[in-house]
């Protein structure tokens, strides 16, 4: 059974600091996704990671994938308040309509 | 671009009532899915479809039915609403597997069962 675990589940950061969110999954998968959700809103796609060693960056966020370790990381550099949100990783079970999500990491960036 | 449109945005039902949550996409996406989001649980897959006429169960399908008669529409039916079905429901769609594109999510339907 495919399971996806994120940690930490809650993260309070100061502006300007760096931190990493971890996403572990239990079985082989072809694709890993990172999404952002603001309170009361829908999910916004951040990254799609397809292969071992894949690294993608957008602004202060960088995601990487290690398929051998079944681990993805989302690294936050010099956090700003606008990054406050809940971040989800998700893994597909062989079909893009069939995603398993982690429980999410609620990030709060404080001045 | 309309993207993924969900209706209604909010709904209150009484236990035992039935209703249909609507989902439509105008991007000619093959894949469509329904998820529910509960506090502390992330999103859990209810049902999904890989094309018109093809549906399958996800993690938590009990109490829900789906059909996919057209590429555009993927309604979710609650047969006999229960308080445990109080949740936020998201519909999502994506292109075929070959494109490796992410799922696009609708704005959600907030459903309360009394």
pLDDT digit string, tens, across residues B75-101 = 999 999 999 999 999 999 998 766 678
CB contacts of B90 in chain A (<8 Å) are 42-43
pLDDT of residue B1: 61
| Alpha carbons B43 and B92: distance in angstroms, whole number | 12
Nearest to B42 among A44, A48, A104 (CB): A104
pLDDT of residue B98: 65
Burial (CB count within 10 angstroms: exposed 0-12, middle 13-18, buried 19+), residue B67: middle
pLDDT band, very low/low/confident/very high, at A110 (cuts 50, 70, 90): very high
Contact B40 A103 (CB under 8 A): yes
Measured CA distances, B6 to A8, B3, B40, B78, B108 (Å): 31, 10, 23, 15, 6
* Mutation to test the B interface, candidates A23, A97, A103, most B Cβ within 10 Å: A97
pLDDT of residue B71: 95
Nearest residue of B to residue A46 by CA position?
Answer: B102
């Amino acid at each position: 059974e495919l399971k996806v675990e994120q940690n930490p589940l809650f993260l309070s950061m100061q502006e300007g600091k760096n931190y990493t969110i971890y996403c572990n999954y239990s079985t082989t998968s072809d694709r890993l996704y990172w999404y952002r959700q603001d309170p009361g809103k829908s999910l916004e796609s951040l990254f799609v990671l397809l292969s071992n060693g894949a690294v993608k960056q957008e602004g202060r966020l960088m995601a990487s994938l290690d398929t051998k370790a079944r681990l993805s990381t989302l690294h936050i550099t010099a956090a700003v308040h606008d990054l406050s949100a809940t971040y989800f990783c998700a893994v597909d079970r062989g079909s893009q309509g069939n995603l398993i999500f982690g429980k999410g990491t609620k990030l709060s960036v404080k001045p | 671009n309309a993207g993924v449109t969900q209706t209604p945005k909010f709904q209150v039902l009484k236990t035992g009532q039935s209703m249909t949550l609507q989902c439509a996409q105008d991007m000619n996406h093959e894949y469509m899915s329904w998820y529910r989001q509960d506090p502390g649980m992330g999103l859990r897959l209810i049902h999904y479809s890989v094309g018109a006429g093809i549906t399958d169960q996800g993690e938590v399908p009990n109490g829900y039915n789906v059909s996919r008669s057209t590429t555009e529409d993927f309604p979710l039916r609650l047969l006999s609403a229960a308080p445990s079905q109080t949740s936020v429901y998201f519909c999502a769609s994506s292109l075929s597997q070959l494109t490796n594109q992410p799922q696009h999510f609708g704005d959600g339907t907030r459903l309360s069962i009394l």
